[in-house]
Structure 1
Amino acid sequence: MSGAEGRSPAEAGGAVDRAGLLAAYALPDRETPRVRMNFVMSLDGAVALGGRSGGLGDDADRLAMGVLRTLADVVLVGAGTVRAEGYGGLRLRDENAEWRREHGLADEPRLAVVSSALDLEPEHPFFAEAVTRPIVVTHAASDPARRAALAEVADVLVCGQTAVDPIAMRDALAGAGLPQILCEGGPHLFAALVEVDAVDELCLSLSALLVSGDAGRITAGGREHARRMRLVHAIPAGDLLLLRYARAAPVARD
Structure 2
Amino acid sequence: MEQLIGDTPGSPGSLEWLAQAYAYPSGAGRWLRANMVASLDGAARLDGLSEGLSSEADKRIFGVLRALCDVVLVGAETVRAEGYRPGRVRAEFAERRAAAGQLPAPVIAVVTRSLELDLSAPLFTEPLVPTVVITTVDAPAGKLARTAERADVITAGTGSVDLPLAVAALTERGWRRQLSEGGPRLLGQLAADGLLDELCLSVAPLVTAGDSPRIVNGPQIPHARPMRLVSLIEEKGFLFTRYLRPTEPDRSPSDPALT
Residues 16 and 237 in structure 1, CA contact (< 8 A), matched pair in contact too: no
Q: Are 2:55 and 1:58 equivalent residues in the alignment?
A: yes
Give the SS at the match of 1:76. Answer: strand
RMSD of aligned C-alpha atoms?
1.7
Q: TM-score, normalised by structure 2?
A: 0.87
Q: C-alpha distance in 1, partners of 2:149/2:28?
A: 30
Once the two structures are aligned, what percentage of the paired residues are identical?
Answer: 42
Q: C-alpha distance in 2, partners of 1:23/1:210?
A: 31
Among candidates 32, 37, 52, match of residue 35 of structure 1: 32
Q: Which residue of 2 aligns with 1:7?
A: none
Q: Which residue of 2 aligns with 1:234?
A: 232
Q: How far did residue 243 of structure 1 move? A: 0.4
Matches within 5 A, 1:83-232: 83-225=80-222, 226-232=224-230
Q: C-alpha distance in 2, partners of 1:75/1:249?
A: 24
| 1:111-134 deviation per Cα after TM superposition (whole angstroms, max 9, x unaligned) | 110000001132123212322100
Structure 2, unaligned runs of 5 or more: 1-10, 249-259
Residues 32 and 180 in structure 2, CA contact (< 8 A), matched pair in contact too: yes
Q: How far did residue 15 of structure 1 move? A: 6.0
Q: TM-score, normalised by structure 1?
A: 0.88
Q: C-alpha distance in 2, partners of 1:31/1:247?
A: 12
Q: Which residue of 1 aligns with 2:256?
A: none
Q: C-alpha distance in 2, partners of 1:21/1:15?
A: 7
Q: Which residue of 2 aligns with 1:8?
A: none
Residues 12 and 18 in structure 2, CA contact (< 8 A), matched pair in contact too: no
Give the SS at the match of 2:150. Answer: coil
Residues 15 and 238 in structure 1, CA contact (< 8 A), matched pair in contact too: no
RCO higher in structure (CA 8 A, sep ≥6): 2
Structure 1, unaligned runs of 5 or more: 1-13
Residues 38 and 183 in structure 1, CA contact (< 8 A), matched pair in contact too: yes
Whichever residue aligns with residue 23 of structure 2, its letter is A
Among candidates 226, 245, 248, match of residue 247 of structure 1: 245
| 1:205-244 deviation per Cα after TM superposition (whole angstroms, max 9, x unaligned) | 1111111222111011123331111111111122111100
Q: How far did residue 68 of structure 1 move? A: 0.7
Q: C-alpha distance in 2, partners of 1:21/1:235?
A: 10
